[in-house]
């Protein structure tokens, strides 16, 4: 369902602060954009004890393929004894998780955690895109 007028980030920007990697995902996560996101998350979850925060605030649409990508990332993080947090204040997203039977599976936060929210401006400007 990707519309070319909607900005989607196949390789989302990321930064690491105090061992936590924050990935800001924008636009749509669907059949067309999910493979790029999944590949990037596979890299970020490959090491031991990954600590990953996915900022989904700028996501405008997510289909079941997107949910699959999130589940895969969660499974990889859990298998490596890490932590995955999803950040969104979207009631639609929370409702989607409930209806998909995933409500208690993810740690969902309404805003970025304090330990990664106050990124210094210089560090935020050096965001690495895959």
Map out the domains of the chain as residue ranges.
14-124
Summarize pLDDT for 83-127 with one digit per residue, the tens. Answer: 999 999 999 999 999 999 999 999 999 999 888 875 543 343 333
Topology, domain 14-124: Transcription Regulator spoIIAA (3.30.750)
Q: Which two tokens stand for residue 88?
A: 């969104």
Torsion from C-alpha of 7, 85, 92, 94, nearest 10 degrees: 160
pLDDT of residue 117: 75
pLDDT of residue 119: 52
Summarize pLDDT for 14-35 with one digit per residue, the tens. Answer: 889 889 999 999 999 999 999 9
Q: Write the burial class of residue 46 (CB in 10 Å: 0-12 exposed, 13-18 middle, 19+ buried).
A: exposed
């Amino acid at each position: 369902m990707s519309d070319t007028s909607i900005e989607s980030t196949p390789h989302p920007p990321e930064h690491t602060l105090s061992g936590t990697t924050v990935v800001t995902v924008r636009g749509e996560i669907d059949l067309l954009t999910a493979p790029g996101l999944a590949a990037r998350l596979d890299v970020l979850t490959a090491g031991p004890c990954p600590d990953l925060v996915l900022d989904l605030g700028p996501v405008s649409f997510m289909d079941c393929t997107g949910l699959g990508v999130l589940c895969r990332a969660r499974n990889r993080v859990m298998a490596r004894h890490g932590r995955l947090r999803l950040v969104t204040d979207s009631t639609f997203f929370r409702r989607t998780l409930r209806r998909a039977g995933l409500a208690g599976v993810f740690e969902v936060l309404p805003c970025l955690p304090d330990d990664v929210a106050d990124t210094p401006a210089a560090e935020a400007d050096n965001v690495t895109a895959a």
